[in-house]
Amino acid sequence: MAVVKRVHEVEARDVSDGRETVNVVKQVLIGPKDGAPTFAVRLFTLGAGGHTPKHRHPFEHGVLVLEGEGVLWTEAGTQRLSPGTVVFLAPDEYHQFSNTGSSPLKFICIVPKYVEE
């Protein structure tokens, strides 16, 4: 059965810790609760000056930038992010997303379902 909802109806959770994760809000748009058998779709919103921690995890993920400007840091260097940018991050690749603009940086992040279980 199809699950249809609006982004503004999905719970937005501030996942900031004030140190390594700053000004970051996460919404699980599609996940296990929706019956998705293999993947989860999350929307991240990084406010001005916001960033995720430098981290890695044992799963790959795909990212699509929707709004704003930012950079992706990896051990190989940095890449500019803007609307329409698509990113593939391999398992165990160190990375960090940062907002370099004055408006929110919004991106979709698709991961294996178990990440949100």
Please provide the DSSP assignment of 89-106 as one string.
E-TT--EEEEE-SSS-EE
Q: What is the mean pLDDT of residues 20-26?
A: 98
How far CA 97 is from CA of 49, 63, 82, in Å, comes to 11, 11, 12
Give tens-digit pLDDT for 24-40: 999 999 999 999 999 99
Q: What is the mean pLDDT of residues 100-109?
A: 99
* 11-116 is a CATH 3.40.109.10 domain: no
Give tens-digit pLDDT for 56-84: 999 999 999 999 999 999 999 999 999 99
List, as one string, the DSSP characters of 35-85: T-SSEEEEEEEEEEEEEPPSB--SS-EEEEEEES-EEEEETTEEEEE-TT-
Does pLDDT of 1 surpass 90?
no
The count of other CB atoms within 10 Å of the CB of residue 114 is 11
Rounded CA-CA distance 37/61 in Å is: 16
Structure tokens belonging to residue 117: 């279980």
